[in-house]
Amino acid sequence: MTGASDVPIPARFAEALVDPSAYADGRIHETWRWLRANNPLGIAEAEGFDPFWVVTKHADILAVGRQNDLFHNGDRPTTLTGQAADRRVREITGGSPHLVYSLVQMDPPDHPKYRALTQAWFMPPNLKKLEERIRVIAKRTVDAMCAKPGRCDFVTDVAAGYPLHVIMEIMGVPEEDEPRMLRLTQELFGPQDPDTARALSALSPEQLTALIQATIEDFSSYFRKLSAERRAHPREDLATLIANAKIDGEPISDIGAMGYYIIVATAGHDTTSSSTAGAVWALAENPGEFAKVKNDPSLIPGLVDEAIRWTTPVKHFMRSATADTELAGRAIAKGDWLMLCYASGNRDEELFEDPDVFRVERKPNRHLSFGYGAHLCLGQHLAKMEMRILFEELLPHLKSLALDGEPKLTQALFVSGPKTVPIRFELA
């Protein structure tokens, strides 16, 4: 790898980047902080992984994100994957590094074609028509929380179920199937976390790959049935749109349809759940911020953006260089692998004043939580609308809010957020 001799990062930081527990105990923020200050674009060499560049600065992440042709998503694994797991995936797929082929694994020409299928559906004018349906779900969720005796786990009692119910209703998945969707999402995004893995013992790379493969097969089995049903009996839902989609005039392929269902069904709620729980965690720890937003509902959009920055549920995506190039003064070689550390960019001291402080009035708030460029999150407007509506319904009911124990984060390198947020509250 070009220039590897003069840019390696210290071993302890390289190991933290590949250790799921570091993302739950705070060591990862220490790692990113050190890298931003001392080696903002260095190479990590960790046992069992190919070397990879670690992109920690906001400006450099933007530079990669805006150059889609130069930095591909799909040529190598799109999330940080060990050598053994990568080999096993390629054996399973006949050479592809991907068990799922969804928007996040795609490059042109496929990516713009597949994105165009649902892009208009996820834009604000169409989402406006869903606002009242979402508000009904939010009210029901808040009523259930207020019926509890002044304490709950905000993750399990509120944050996990609310966006799940919204996206499943939008897709057309029956409510009785939502627990299955939640379980499969947790297994797909948190397989290293002992509370969400199918196997609680330490997993080898091969076992981890097998677990993820089984989860994907479970998802696909479910959505193939749903797809057949929607082709036979179309409805006004997203499943119907995907099931009957055409690419280049031909019916969408099975792998393309399954990838679409899985990305919408998982990313469509898990990340929103994490940011919602992160908001309540931060408000419970910062009574002054809670008082501000409670007394002035016009600050709710700011609360939403700050919670999304603060939590950054998608911790990274990987890109690979399609040609020799230069980034931040470093020589990047064709085929080099780069880790875009979004959560680090969202704490970049050059862009965010007091980045480790939670501020509902933070302006501007140019966070990177939804990515950037051609791969900007398709569901960003839906996620922000869901969170805004929930807090519009919840905050008027609350007189006080405090932690009722120690919150915990999931152990996961890719998508992670609060696993438990115990709170005490008084009703207004």
Domain definitions of the chain by residue range:
4-427
pLDDT for the residue 181: 86
How many C-beta atoms surround the C-beta of residue 282 within 10 A?
A: 21
pTM confidence score: 0.93
pLDDT for the residue 211: 78
CATH number, domain 4-427, options 2.60.40.290, 1.10.630.10, 1.20.120.430, 3.40.50.300: 1.10.630.10
Closest CA to 133 of 227, 229, 226, 236: 236
DSSP 290-312: HHHHHH-GGGHHHHHHHHHHHH-
- In angstroms, the CA 151 to CA 406 distance is 14
CA distances from 334 to 67, 71, 339 (A): 14, 10, 15
pLDDT for the residue 150: 96
- pLDDT-derived band of residue 1, with 50, 70 and 90 as boundaries? very low
Tell whether the model's pLDDT for residue 95 goes beyond 80: yes
- In angstroms, the CA 214 to CA 100 distance is 12
% of the chain surpassing 90 pLDDT: 82
Q: What is the mean pLDDT of residues 401-414?
A: 95
- pLDDT-derived band of residue 197, with 50, 70 and 90 as boundaries? very low
pLDDT for the residue 50: 97
Note the pLDDT tens digit of each residue in 212-269. Answer: 888 889 989 999 999 999 999 999 999 999 999 999 999 999 999 999 998 888 887 8
Q: 383 is written with which tokens? A: 């996620």
pLDDT for the residue 214: 86
Note the pLDDT tens digit of each residue in 109-145. Answer: 999 999 999 999 999 999 999 999 999 999 999 999 9
Q: What is the mean pLDDT of residues 81-99?
A: 91
Buried b / exposed e over 203-213, threshold 16 CB at 10 Å, is bebebbbbbbb
Q: 75 is written with which tokens? A: 């040529």
Tell whether the model's pLDDT for residue 25 goes beyond 90: yes
148 DSSP 8-state letter: S
